[in-house]
Amino acid sequence: MPYLVEILLPVSHPRGSRTNVDLVRDELTAKFGGVTLHVNSPAEGLWRDDGEIEQDRIVVAEVMTPDLDRAWWSSYRKKLEARFRQEEIVIRVIEIERL
């Protein structure tokens, strides 16, 4: 069963955010043969942290893959967290059926 992997990338921090997103695009295209970036309408993420409301603008990167290499994705998530200076980057996966 193929998978759709979604990565929520923050772009609210101006220091190199677009360059970082471009790097992710290039890396995922090289590894998976393609990527979809939802960049024209960045989403807004809100969450509560120690009683304060935090906010990020995000873009979503999506790749389809026939196999799910959990160890690779875990390692890549850690690399992205360092690159984007985030405590956590959300990567989620959905099993898909192509019609």
Per-residue pLDDT of 6-16, as tens digits, reads 999 988 655 55
Bridge partners, residue 5, by sequence:
63, 93
Q: What span, in angstroms and rounded, lies between the C-alpha atoms of 61 and 66?
A: 17
Instruction: Indicate the pTM of the whole model.
Output: 0.82
Q: What is the pLDDT of residues 52-87, one digit of tens each?
A: 877 778 899 999 999 999 999 999 999 999 999 988
What CATH number does the domain located at 3-95 have? 3.30.70.120
Q: List the domain boundaries for the chain.
A: 3-95
Residue 33 has pLDDT above 90, yes or no: yes
User: Taking CA 79 as the corner, what is the angle to CA 67 and CA 22, rounded to the nearest 5 degrees?
Assistant: 85
Q: Which residues contact 33 (CB under 8 A, 6 or more apart)?
A: none
What does the DSSP 8-state code read for residue 77? H
> For residue 17, what pLDDT band results from cuts at 50, 70 and 90?
low
